[in-house]
Amino acid sequence: VPGRIVVVGSGAAGIGAAAAAKAIDPSAEVTIYSGSGDAAGGFDRLFLAGPQTCLDAGIVLRHGPRITAIDLDRRAVDVEGEGAAGWDRLVITAGSEPAGAGALPTDLEGLYAVGNIPSDEEWDRVLAGAKVAVVVEATAPGLEMVTALAERGIETHLVDPRASTLAGAADPDIAAPVEESWAEMGVKTHFNTRVEGLLGEGRVRGVRTSEGELPADVVVVCSRPPAGNDLAAAAGLVVSSGGGIKVDERMATSAAGVWAAGECIDLPGGARFPLQDSGSQAYAQGRVAGTNAAGGSRAYQPAYVPWSLPAGRWTLGGVSFGETQATAAGMPYVLGKATGISRARYYPDVKKVTVKLLAEPGSLRLIGAQMVGGEGIKERADFLGMAVKMGITLTDLAFMENVYSPPIGALNEPIAVAAQNGLATLEASR
Ligand SMILES: Cc1cc2nc3c(=O)[nH]c(=O)nc-3n(C[C@H](O)[C@H](O)[C@H](O)COP(=O)(O)OP(=O)(O)OC[C@H]3O[C@@H](n4cnc5c(N)ncnc54)[C@H](O)[C@@H]3O)c2cc1C
């Protein structure tokens, strides 16, 4: 009987864990320690209805106090200013280092990390006086930041050590339209370029890069923050050299009765997502951790994660592997690619939709997808995620039925055409 379940952190993973635990065992006493008095932090940013949902479910949400230590022997956490609180099951969802700002100097005005962007009003004030901005790293939040700054009319520079946008997750040909649209919006991209230092005293003046200096009024660092696991490591849980708590596919840690989920973990078996760190993945992991902590049984299947985000004038998306990742993993694949349209050609705002499908040679089971387009990319990613999970093949997709409704969907669904092209290429090579 779980009895008391304590959840450390109220982010996407924490809220997912608490809600799932309470659903599995309504009699469990579930308490979340948010570690932050800021109601706009953690999951509140993602799930605006979160606090009320917690209260409605009978979950105790403690905004404010941080957990300062975990005692595995006594099965208790030390709550800042309050002392020990006992638990029968513990779920750690402490996220990453606050704001990913750990390595950044705190005394430079105009320097921000993606997680410590001030509230709307203050951010408006900062940007009102900015003419030039530098965004460091084309990560998912970096892409959104670049687009938003450029749309405000700020001269925006993107600096990234890799060769293209969202490298690894998005194949270069899929990311290319985004980069073209940024160029149209005045964004200057500096790929294959490392940031080597910050310029300015008291106030940021720009960045020093491997290719020279870039002046800026505002610098926003969007690099992936390190996992923040001092608590877990001090308690004696196994933490990898990269900083993530080790868990198995049930999100169980190395200690009995302790689970972990979200940005604070290393994925089981060293798996990697197409996009590391997203609220949707943290939430799904949290639900698995919470279910198991409350006595249920669920395993996490990371390989099917669909992803999608707007960038420039486009929306990117995908499932599991793209060509870049598959090639890096030495994984053979059959490729089908097509460019279609999002709605009937004669309708206003019709947009190109490019779909790449990767299938396992032989079985032709779908193993990944990459997309760029406008409307409908998110829904296609969700659909293709399920297709990968269910073992759908290129042949199935080539003959799929789809909605034809001129204002919202073209006769030829780009997914089906990509699959048909993949089969045709395969046939031609025989
Ligand atoms: C600007 C921005 C935009 C984003 N956009 C998206 C998006 O569109 N889609 C998407 O899927 N993801 C998005 N993300 C990513 C997403 O927010 C994170 O991946 C997700 O929040 C991770 O969830 P988590 O629960 O692991 O960690 P977090 O949400 O960071 O939560 C960690 C929690 O642990 C608490 N905590 C830490 N230490 C302690 C302690 N000692 N005691 C008690 N509590 C503690 C923190 O206060 C916090 O409540 C975005 C992130 C940023 C910064």
Q: What percent of the chain has pLDDT over 90?
A: 70
For the chain, give the number of residues. 430
Q: What is the pLDDT of residue 250?
A: 96
Does the pLDDT of residue 39 top 90, yes or no?
Answer: no
Residue-wise pLDDT for 2-26, tens only, equals 699 999 998 889 999 999 999 999 9
**What separation in Å is there between the alpha carbon of 226 and the centre of ligand 1?**
12
**In the predicted model, what is the mean pLDDT of the chain?**
89
Can you tell me the distance from the alpha carbon of 79 to that of 61, in angstroms, rounded to the nearest whole number?
A: 14
9 lines ligand 1 (CB under 6 A): yes
User: What residues contact 128, with CB distance under 8 A and at least 6 apart?
Assistant: none
Strands 334-341 and 352-359 turn out to be antiparallel
Q: Per-residue pLDDT tens for 121-145?
A: 899 999 998 999 999 999 989 999 9
Determine which of 264-268, 336-340, 387-391 has the lowest per-residue pLDDT on average: 264-268
- Is the pLDDT assigned to residue 391 strictly greater than 90? yes
* Whether the CB of 222 sits within 6 Å of ligand 1: no
Q: Give pLDDT, residue 7.
A: 96
CA of 95 to the centre of ligand 1 (A): 5
Rounded-to-integer distance, Cα 286 and Cα 239, Å: 18
The predicted model scores a pTM of 0.79
The pLDDT value recorded for residue 304 is 67
Q: Which atom of ligand 1 is nearest to the CA of 33?
A: 43
354 lines ligand 1 (CB under 6 A): no
Distance, CA of 290 to CA of 24 (rounded, Å) = 8
Mean pLDDT of 382-391: 93
Report how far ligand 1's centroid is from the alpha carbon of 96 (Å). 7
10 Cα nearest atom in ligand 1 = 49
| Residue 279 CA, closest ligand 1 atom number | 11
* Residue for token pair 């760190």: 277
The two three-digit tokens of residue 336, written as one number: 């089908």
pLDDT at 49 over 90: no
Q: What is the pLDDT of residue 243?
A: 81
Model pLDDT for residues 97-112, shown as the tens digit of each residue: 654 444 566 678 999 9
334 band by pLDDT with thresholds 50, 70 and 90: very high
pLDDT category at 51 given cuts 50, 70, 90 is low
Give 401-418 pLDDT, tens digit per residue: 999 999 999 999 999 999
Ligand 1 and 66: CB distance under 6 A: yes
Tell me, what's the pLDDT at 22? Answer: 94
41: pLDDT strictly greater than 50: no
Distance of CA 261 to the CA centre of its chain: 13
- Tell whether ligand 1 has an atom less than 6 A from the beta carbon of residue 24: no
Cα separation, 260 vs 285, whole angstroms: 8
Q: What is the pLDDT of residue 274?
A: 61
Task: Work out the pLDDT band at 45, boundaries 50, 70, 90.
Answer: very low
**In terms of Cα–Cα distance, which of 131, 279, 281 is closest to 215?**
131
Q: How far does Cα 275 stand from its chain's mean position?
A: 5
Residue 304 Cα to ligand 1 midpoint, Å, equals 21
Separation of 285 CA from ligand 1 center, angstroms? 13
Of 40-44, 185-189, 209-213, give the lowest mean pLDDT range: 40-44
Q: What is the pLDDT of residue 47?
A: 47
Q: What is the mean predicted confidence (pLDDT) over 203-219?
A: 95
Cβ 280 under 6 angstroms from ligand 1: yes
